Amino acid sequence: MHRAAAVVCSLFLLGCQAPQGTAGPASAGPLAIATWPFGAIATDLAWQSLQRGGSRLDAIETGIREVERQSCDGSVGLGGGPNAAGYPQLDSCILDGPGQRAGSVAGLEGIVHPISVARAVMEHTRHVMLVGEGARWFALQRGIDSVPIEELAAKKQEWQQRPAPAPQGQGHDTITLLLRDSDGHLAGGCSTSGAGGKLPGRVGDSPILGSGLYVDDEVGAAGATGVGENVMRYCATFAIVERMRQGLHPQQACEEVVHDIARRDPRRYRLDICFVAVDKQGRFGAAASNQRFPFAVTTAAGTQVLHVDAVSPR
């Protein structure tokens, strides 16, 4: 059996009995896994949604909407880090394994729940991705919560009072949520305000299928967080799923892709990238290039925030 990487259970939530703190054991029932400690909000709500009879997509949308609403860590939703011009531009996508259905939005302004727009693109258009003004127009047509575009100007003033943005790779995160239901079907979603201080129009990995998120219902699902440029140049989550297809445990697949990118990239391991993955059997894993990476998991046994240390450079 594959040696799962040591993971420390750092927090039990909700007073539930939680599983042992090692990545990877298969879960027969539903399992939700998400990036960062605030991912516990999403995994827990997603799991509850499934228990209430919601669909996989309901579960993904419900979990991510709450993180967007709270703008957790100032990196998701309209409270997320503004771009260099002073206003947030949001990226999101959603994928459902059966039928390989997908929806995505990028550079979305003034919309409270990008994940709902991504889902609406999937369910109500013949397209996969909408960007910028078109994405906002579509969201307004669908009646998805918005703020007046004029209010974004005020954010610019507010932004100018703040300290200079942190260098890329520090202080920007993403909610990426993966779900395996009790039938072994998979889904996932991402939402982010992207790198703080990014150029207007910059799109990161999160809305790009195969980069920030990939789901293959025959194999597994993988999601990313961190510096999008270092994820999207390597189609990293697609690469993780392909390694699971070759038989690797999700833990091993995440680690191998970090090593493979570091081997090829001039930055070596200074990539600021982190991954989570789950396979069709309900085994899960996570890996990070150069930082301790906390992530959240919810199963029937409860919700835990676990962490992996950075991979050891080869």
Chain positions contacting ligand GLY, by CB under 6 A: 174, 192, 194-195, 204-206, 225-228
Q: How far apart are the C-alpha atoms of 21 and 10, rounded to whole Å? A: 9
Residue number with CB closer to ligand GLY (73 or 96): 73
Residue 223's DSSP bridge partners are 213, 276
Residue 314 CB, nearest approach to ligand GLY (Å): 24
Strand spans (E) along the chain: 8-13, 31-35, 90-96, 101-108, 129-131, 175-180, 186-192, 213-216, 220-226, 273-279, 284-288, 293-299, 302-308
Distances (CA, A) of 17 to 186, 283, 298: 25, 19, 11
Q: Which residues contact 54 (CB under 8 A, 6 or more apart)?
A: 62
Active site residue 43: no
Q: What is the DSSP letter of 6?
A: B
Residue 193 CB, nearest approach to ligand GLY (Å): 8
Residue 302 CB, nearest approach to ligand GLY (Å): 28
CB 261 within 8 Å of CB 271: yes
Q: Give residue number: closest CB to ligand GLY.
A: 204
Going by their DSSP bridges, the two strands 129-131 and 101-108 should be labelled as parallel
Residue number with CB closer to ligand GLY (37 or 194): 194
Residue 186's DSSP bridge partners are 180
Catalytic one among 35, 43, 62, 174? Answer: 174
Residue number with CB closer to ligand GLY (206 or 252): 206
Residue number with CB closer to ligand GLY (110 or 212): 212
Which among 219, 196, 176, 188 is positioned nearest to 79, based on CA atoms? 196
State in Å, rounded, how far the first CA of the chain is from the last one: 23
Where helices occur in 26-99 by DSSP H, the ranges are: 39-51, 56-70
Q: What angle do CA 241, 290, 283 make, to 5 degrees?
A: 35
Residue number with CB closer to ligand GLY (116 or 191): 191
Residue 222 CB, nearest approach to ligand GLY (Å): 13
Look-up: residue for tokens 């995160």? 173
Residue 304 CB, nearest approach to ligand GLY (Å): 23
Residue 114 CB, nearest approach to ligand GLY (Å): 12
Residue number with CB closer to ligand GLY (92 or 304): 92
Catalytic residues: 174
